[in-house]
Amino acid sequence: MIEKALEGKKGYWGWIALLLAVIALGIYSYSKQLSYGLGVTGMGRDVSWGVYVAQFTFLVGVAASAVMVVLPYYLHDYKEFGKIVIIGEFLAVSAATICLLFILADMGHPDRVFYVLLYPHPKSIVFWDVQVLNGYLLLNIVSGWTVLEAERKGTSPPKWVKPIIYLSIVWAISIHTVTAFLYAGTPGRHLWLTAVLAPRFLASAFAVGPALLILISYILRKFADFDVGEKAIRKLSLITTYAALVNFFFVGVEFFTAFYSNIPGHMHSLQYLFFGLDGKNQLVPWMWFSMIVGIASVLILLYQQRRPSSQLLITACTGIVVSLWIDKGIGLIIGGFVPSPMEEVVEYFPTFIEITVTLGIWAIGLLILTALLKVAVAVKKAA
Amino acid sequence: MNEKVLIFAGLSIFLLGVTFPFWQSVEPEDFPKVAMETKGDQCVAPAAYMRKNHMLLLNTWRDSVVRDGERFHIMPDGSRVEKSLTKTCLGCHVSKKQFCEECHTYASVKPYCWECHVVPKSGGHTELSGIETDETKQKELLNNLLAKNQQFSDENLQSLGLKND
Amino acid sequence: MINNRRNFLKKSTGVIAGAGVVSSFISKYTTGLADASTEKVVSKKKIRWGMVIDMKKCVDGCVKCIDACHVKHNVPDFGNPKDEIKWIWKSDYAKVFPSKNQQYLAQETRDKPFLSLCNHCADPPCVKVCPTGATFQMDDGIVEMDFHRCIGCRFCMAACPYGSRSFNWRDPRPAIENITSEYPTRESGVVEKCNFCSERLAKGQQPACVETCPEKVLTFGNLYDKNSEIRKVLQENPTIQRKPELGTNPSVFYIT
């Protein structure tokens, strides 16, 4: 079945070539990072996690969002999602893979990565994150591939796939909850030390994932002559709308608790992000851009429910993805380190090497996604 | 027919390549001459054991020092030495270059101990580093230590400014 | 129905009585769990190393303890705050004690640079989050680093509420002025911090900072030994700790 990914028109191979070029640049930059050390990035003693961990956090959400199509289709027999489920699963596979790659890129001693398995420490949430992320990757690739292959053969999928799919539904919730626990359990960082972090992660994941699926559907319509169905897209847009509303509600709730209680520790990170602190305000434009675009996109989505328009839908989905990428990645991760535990404001900006490694890993994800979707679309079109 | 030729040609090239180390033998260099002198009479373990198992001993020492806080090794005569690559091992064995690198270079082994663990000044002899500043006294000390060593080649001794007795 | 009611009453009394007995046992267990703020009595251990820093004696501008520590442990000096590695350093009171920062502080407290180092907490969040056990707690209370096992994920740095940890963003050796063979250097990609000089303690020596200080600012000793000097100092002087509300139980105390 994989041979279907090797057949394509000029445009397809052009896209693959572009991705490979970006990957090559990323590999070159990573080699520089390996020889010099992580000092080639913009991270430092005070902001010790940066773009890599931000991408990881965002992408775990994307991976988890597959549950939003798997659950209705398999658990509630929502047949309209018939063509989009496999796309959701393959999106989860690509996202989960590059999650792990971003973690690897961020490690100071990547050659010791297997120590997490050789010297297990169940008290550490990282231990659990490694288990659930790899498990989720396995669940999705196995179930997605098996079901697709059965479709290609024209038979029904084997019985053992069903429990795996049900497991993946529960597992999806767990991967993003565990990732949220990475942050929500640390006592020193007030921006993260909130019970609402896990629910907020899930809400933003369920807003971004379906939005991405909608965008992918339109791309497939245009370039692969494959239509997942108007009903599926409409349903997805409904899911995104509700999830985005919940997400911005959570943002509002955070603001209230911080600023009404007036507790300095709770306020400082949000002050730095949205208003500047100690004269440092590098991220302020980013955060307001994210808020304005995000809320505007939600409004467009709401309007779009009454008066459907693919133009508006595409705009709003792009807006949701961009807004929440900034909010979850930059806002949450960088904001957690500013101010430092000693109340110092140190700013962070990624370097060229950091950015190219990031783009390279994104390109790897897109390459995997492209290949998998090529196979899926070919099989579904022939069926 | 064409296919057969290609297949056999490919197989032959592969077989030639895979057996290359056997039929194209390179003249081995002289077996390493290792400086086997010690400050005391004996190493922390017998030489035969150490030759085979020094990494095992170092790893065991590493875990027991760092993780269990047990920093001292009891010698057979009851005295204590610190479990330390830099201070104990190199404190007795003359120099990292003469002792460790001779065999490691020959066997193409690249341990990364020295990325962190410090090679003491004067090539590894802590008795000489910083304590004995008089050059003659230094040479005398070194001579005494090397006196029992039969494996030192002339070249090695010359590079240290000494002669074999 | 009447018969059934009798049976029902009999059974439900039994169930309620049983539930009451069980829940009384449960509450006994859970009350203990909530007593986190009381002193942890870990009676099997004989040593818990601790330190009292008497800031009244600490001299402004003196950095002898910092130099001693950093020289003896091959701590590099890169000359920039991004790559900076520090095991012990001086900082404003407001930065060392952000939760105790108040208005109308005595000028002496407000303006004097306070010593800051790893607190070697009894309940260290860094140890909890380390995925490989590269940072771990020894029997004597010291929170140690195993540089051979550290994978450089820097989760411990995110978890430490005091900012005590530094990462090797690059090879440290070029930035070490005088490499001593008494202690190894580290390499790029691992986290490091104060280790309460465990290698010196093993030889019966005081930590380098404690030994070097000419004003005897630092008192170091076994917190479990009621007759130790450190316990005497703690008994005779009001002391504060950094962020005690976080439940980390630090082993470092300050006399302001």
User: Structural domain boundaries of chain B?
Assistant: 29-159
- Geometric angle at alpha carbon C33, from C30 and C34, rounded to 5°: 95
**Contact (Cβ atoms closer than 8 angstroms) between residue A54 and residue A42:** no
pLDDT band at C45 (very low <50, low <70, confident <90, very high): low
Q: What pLDDT score does B139 carry?
A: 59
The answer to whether the Cβ–Cβ distance between C199 and B119 falls below 8 Å is no
Chain B residues with CB under 8 Å of a chain C CB are 62, 66-67, 69, 71-72, 86-87, 112, 115-121, 126, 129
Residues A330-358 have a mean pLDDT of 95
> Would an 8 Å CB–CB cutoff place A195 in contact with chain C?
no
Q: What pLDDT score does B30 carry?
A: 65
β-bridge mates for residue C226, sequence order: none
**Residue labelled with tokens 């004995």:** B132
Q: Is residue A128 pLDDT above 90, yes or no? A: yes
Report the domain count for chain A. Answer: 1
The answer to whether the Cβ–Cβ distance between B118 and C185 falls below 8 Å is yes
Per-residue three-class SS string for A59-119: HHHHHHCCHHHHHHHHHCCCHHHHHCHHHHHHHHHHHHHHHHHHHHHHCCCHHHCCHHHHC
Q: What pLDDT score does C46 carry?
A: 83
Single-letter code of the amino acid located at C172: P
Q: Is residue A148 pLDDT above 50, yes or no? A: yes
Copy the structure tokens of residue A72.
Answer: 């209705």
Query: Residue C97, CB half-sphere, CA atoms under 13 Å: how many?
Result: 22
Q: What pLDDT score does C110 carry?
A: 87
Chains contacting C (3+ CB pairs below 8 angstroms): A, B
The answer to whether the Cβ–Cβ distance between C167 and A346 falls below 8 Å is no
Residues A136-149 have a mean pLDDT of 94
Residues in Cβ contact with B119 at an 8 Å cutoff, skipping those fewer than 6 apart: B86, B90, B96, C181
Q: Is A136 helix (H, G, I), strand (E, B) or coil?
A: helix
Residues A117-144 have a mean pLDDT of 95
Distance between CA atoms of residues A306 and A312, nearest Å: 12
Q: What pLDDT score does C52 carry?
A: 97
Which residue from A126, A185, A188 is facing C131, i.e. has the nearest CB? A126
pLDDT tens-digit map of A158-176: 999 999 999 999 999 999 9
Q: Which of residues 155-174 of C touch A (CB under 8 A)?
A: 155, 157-163, 166-171
Q: Is residue A94 pLDDT above 70, yes or no? A: yes
Tell me what the pLDDT averaged over chain C comes to.
Answer: 89
pLDDT band at A351 (very low <50, low <70, confident <90, very high): very high
**Contact (Cβ atoms closer than 8 angstroms) between residue C76 and residue C171:** no
pLDDT band at C26 (very low <50, low <70, confident <90, very high): low
**Residue labelled with tokens 């407001």:** C94
Q: What pLDDT score does B128 carry?
A: 40
* CA–CA min distance C96, chain B (Å): 29
Phi, psi of A300 (to 5 degrees): -60, -40
Phi, psi of C240 (to 5 degrees): -125, 165
C75, C78, C82, C85: best to mutate for the A interface, most A CBs within 10 A? C82
The answer to whether the Cβ–Cβ distance between C129 and A43 falls below 8 Å is no
Q: What pLDDT score does A364 carry?
A: 98
Residues in Cβ contact with A210 at an 8 Å cutoff, skipping those fewer than 6 apart: A65, A68, A69, A236, A237, A239, A240, A243
Which secondary-structure segment (H or E) carries C9?
helix C2-34
Which chain C residue is nearest to residue B66, measuring alpha carbons? C146
Residues C11-39 have a mean pLDDT of 64
Q: What pLDDT score does B131 carry?
A: 37
Distance between CA atoms of residues C165 and C106, nearest Å: 30
Q: What pLDDT score does C182 carry?
A: 85
Q: Which of residues 109-148 of C touch B (CB under 8 A)?
A: 136, 138-140, 144, 146-148
Which residue from B67, B71, B117 is facing C136, i.e. has the nearest CB? B67
The answer to whether the Cβ–Cβ distance between C186 and B116 falls below 8 Å is yes
Chain B residue numbers touching C143 (CB-CB < 8 A): none
pLDDT in tens, chain B (165 residues): 688 999 999 999 999 999 988 887 666 666 666 665 555 567 788 878 888 888 999 999 999 999 988 888 887 777 777 888 888 888 777 677 777 887 888 888 899 999 999 887 654 444 443 334 455 655 555 555 444 343 334 444 454 444 444
Which residue from A45, A127, A188 is facing C159, i.e. has the nearest CB? A188
* CA–CA min distance C230, chain A (Å): 27
Q: What pLDDT score does B85 carry?
A: 87
According to DSSP H, which parts of A123-160 are helical?
125-153
β-bridge mates for residue C254, sequence order: C53, C240
Q: Is residue A304 pLDDT above 60, yes or no? A: yes
> Can you give the length of chain C in residues?
256
B67, B86, B113, B128: best to mutate for the C interface, most C CBs within 10 A? B67
Q: What pLDDT score does B76 carry?
A: 74
pLDDT tens-digit map of C123-146: 999 999 999 999 999 999 999 999
Phi, psi of A288 (to 5 degrees): -70, -40
Residues A211-218 have a mean pLDDT of 96
pTM of structure: 0.86
Phi, psi of A21 (to 5 degrees): -65, -45
Q: What pLDDT score does C28 carry?
A: 58
Which secondary-structure segment (H or E) carries A353?
helix A352-382
Q: Is residue C194 pLDDT above 90, yes or no? A: yes
**Contact (Cβ atoms closer than 8 angstroms) between residue C156 and residue C193:** no
Q: What pLDDT score does C14 carry?
A: 82
Sorted by where each starts, the structural domains of chain C and their CATH numbers stand as 50-255 (3.30.70.20)
Domain span at A270: 2-382
Chain C residue numbers touching B72 (CB-CB < 8 A): 202
